[in-house]
Structures are given as C-alpha cells and as structure tokens.
Amino acid sequence: MKIDWFTVIAQIINFVVLMWLLKKFLYRPILSAIDERESNIKKQLLAAESQKKEADQAKDEFNHKNEIFNKEKDVLMQKAADEAKAEADRLKASARDEANKLKNSLEKAFAEDQAIKNDNMTKRLKGEVLDIARKTLKDLSSVSLEDQTVAVFLKRLNGLKADEKTKFSEALRGGKAILVQSAFALSGEQRALVKKAISSLLKPDSIFEFKIQPELINGIEILTNGYKLSWSVAEYLGSFAEDVEVATK
C-alpha cells in the first residue's frame, strides 16, 4: 500500500493546528474557569471557616455574657429579696411601735378618765359622807358640825404636848400675822374662842387673819412662820377615800 505522505503531513499539520486552536480557544478558558472556580470555592471555604470561627466566638461570648447575667440576676434577686425583707421588717416594727403608742395612749387616756371618774366619785362620796355626818351630828346633838369642828380643833390645840406647845409658841412669836383658815366662815363667837386659845400661848396683841379654805373639808388650820396646826374631817375620810378608789378601779 502506497502512503500518501502529503496527506499524512497535512493531517498532522491539521491536528497540530487543531490542538493549538483547542488549547488556545477551548482548553485554556476551561482551565481558567476551573482554576477560578476552585479559587472561588477555596475563598468560600475560607469565608465559611472564618464565619464558623466568628460564630463560635460569638457563641462563646454569648454564653459568657449569659453566665454573667445569670450571676448578676441571682445577686440582684437576692439583693431585692433582702431589701424587701428589710422593708417588711421595718414596716412591721413601725406598725408595732404605732400600735404600742396607740395602746399606751389609750391606756393613759383610760387611766386619766378613770382617775377623773374616781376623783369625782371620791369628792362626791366625801361630800355625801360630810353631809351625812353633819345631819347625823345635828340629829344626835344640838351642836352644829361647824361648832363641833371648832371644839375638836380647840381641844387638840389645848392638848398639845409640851415640846409641840413650845414649837408652836416660838412660831407664834415670829411677829407675823397668824393665819387661821377654815372650810367654812367662822362666826364672831368661834373666832373669839380661837383667839383666846391661841393667846394663851403668846402675847395677847397678836394680829389674826381669817380665811375660808373649802379644800380643808370641814376643818381648821393655823399657819404662822412655817408652822402649821390643823384638823379636818379629811383625816378621817382618808382611809375611806383609799378604799373607795380601790373599789372603783
């Protein structure tokens, strides 16, 4: 078989030209595209890795912040609970103090009211007893209660012991007016009896001053230079008044 070298050479040349054309216009763009795609894939993978790291870092940071928040939340909750308890204790103590103050005020007001009632009752009872004593004395004798009071006082004055009589005489010689106070107005005769009894203990030219003092409760007292000599129904009503006060509590 005869080889057509011209044809062979032409085909070789055509093949070489085809390969050059393919390489220039087909393979190189494809390879470039493949390289570019690989480069893009590598970039995407690197970006994804970076995003993953950032995500992990953000997750760790979030977990850390969440842990800190939980700790701070627990501290704040405990602090709020402590403050609420302290405020509740303060309000309870304040309410207790106010209740005690109110209780004390009520007890004081009640005690004052009872004291006023007892005092009024004591005064009323004393007055009633005094009226009864006056009526009884009038029924039993012809002497009034005032006359009997003066008589008892003069009896006490004349019955002073020696040392008391000395003290009284010294006080009467002080030069000041002798104050005679009585729960009722003394008649002229009663004043004369008192002056006569006192004058027996000092000089007769002494100055007397007579005053009415209802608080003595049907009594008489002599005041001069700090010395006092007295007698009144109150001395006998004292124990009775105490019994009344105990009974009315």
Token readout for 147 is 């006359």
Task: Give residue-wise pLDDT tens across range 140-165.
Answer: 444 567 788 888 888 887 877 878 77
pLDDT at residue 135 greater than cutoff 70? no
At 169 the pLDDT is: 72
111-115, 149-153, 224-228: range with lowest mean pLDDT: 224-228
Q: Is the pLDDT assigned to residue 81 strictly greater than 60?
A: yes
- Banded pLDDT at 227 (limits 50, 70, 90): confident
Say whether pTM exceeds 0.75: no
Segment 34-48 shows an average pLDDT of 84
Helices 188-199, 145-158: inter-axial angle, 10-degree rounding = 10
Burial 173-199 (b: 16+ CB within 10 A, else e): eeeeebbbbbbbebeeebbebbbebbe
Cα–Cα distances (Å) from 45 to 31, 51, 52, 93, 123, in that order, read: 20, 10, 10, 70, 113
CA dist 198 and 154 (Å) reads 9
The Cα–Cα gap between 172 and 166 comes to 10
* pLDDT score, position 138: 45
pLDDT in tens, 158-190: 877 878 777 777 776 666 778 888 888 888 888
Arithmetic mean of pLDDT, 218-225: 78
